[in-house]
A = this chain, B = another copy of it.
Amino acid sequence: GLDKIINSDPVAITFFIGYMAMFASAVFFLVERGSVDGKWKTSLLVSALITGIAAVHYYYMRDFYLETGQSPTAFRYVDWTLTVPLMCVEFYLLTKPFGAKGGTLFKLILASLVMLITGFIGETSGIENNIMWGILSTLGYLYIVYEVFAGDVAKLAKTSQSPALGKAMFLLKIFITLGWSIYPIGYMVLPGNLLSGAFEVSSIDLFYNLADAINKIGFGLVIYSVAIAESAKHR
C-alpha cells in the first residue's frame, strides 16, 4: 500500500516521481503534437507513446516494489522491450528526411533486442553468470553506438543542412553514449558483478529510474525543440 512510502525509501520515491514524470510528459508530447508541422507530428506521437507506455509500467513497478520490496525486473524488461525499439524509431524518423533506410532501423531494433534479451537472462540467472550475459548484452549496445557514430546513421547526419537537426544529431550521440551508459552501470551493482558491494542491491532501480527519466523524457524534449525550431521557419 501507499503507506510504505513514508518510510522515506529513496527507491519507492523515485518510482513515484518516475510514474508522474512519465505520465505528464506523455500528455505534454501528445498535446504539443498539435503545434508542430506535419512531418514532426509522428515524432512527437512516438515520444508520447514511449513516455505513456513507461507511465503504465512505472505504475506496475511502483506497486510491485511497495508490495514485495524487490526489484521489478520483469516489468522493467517488458517496458524496455517496447520502448527501446520505439527509441530506434525516433532516430529513424529524425534521419529519414536525409535518406535513412528501413534496413538501418531493422538493424538497430535487432541489436536492441539482443541487448535486452541477454540482459534479462543476466539479471535473472544469478551470481555466477551475470557478468558473462552482461558482456553479451554490452556487445548489442556497442553495435548501436557504432551505427550512430560510424555507421549508416552517422553518414546521413553529415549530409544534413539544418543547424537544428545537426544539433539534435549531436545530442543523440550524447544520449546514446552517456545517457544509455547509466543502465549497464546499474546492472553492475547486481550481486557477483563488478560494482557489487559498492552500492546496495536496491540501488539498481535508482540507476534505472534516473536513466529512464533522462533518456525517455530528455530525448523527447530534444526532438520537441527541433520540431518547434523547424516549424517556426515555415511560418
Contacts and interface: CB of A to CB of B under 8 A. Distances in A.
A229 interface: no
A181 interface: no
A38 interface: yes
B68 A5 contact: no
Interface in A76-99: 77-78, 81-82
A16 interface: yes
Interface residues of A, number: 44
B24 A64 contact: no
B24 A53 contact: yes
Contacts of A24: 49, 52-53, 82
Interface string A21-61: 10010011011110100100110010001001100110010
A129 to B, nearest CB: 14
B74 A13 contact: yes
A20 B21 CA distance: 19
Contacts of A42: 32, 35
Nearest to A27: B49
Contacts of A53: 20, 24
B3 A31 contact: no
Interface of A (DSSP majority class)? helix
A3 B53 CA distance: 19
Contacts of A38: 35
B74 A5 contact: yes
Interface of A: 2-3, 5-6, 8, 12-13, 16-17, 20-21, 24, 27-28, 30-33, 35, 38, 41-42, 45, 49, 52-53, 56-57, 60, 63-64, 67-68, 70, 72-75, 77-78, 81-82, 120, 124
16 contacts: A2-B63, A2-B67, A6-B64, A8-B120, A13-B74, A13-B77, A13-B78, A16-B75, A17-B82, A24-B52, A24-B53, A24-B82, A27-B49, A30-B31, A32-B41, A35-B41
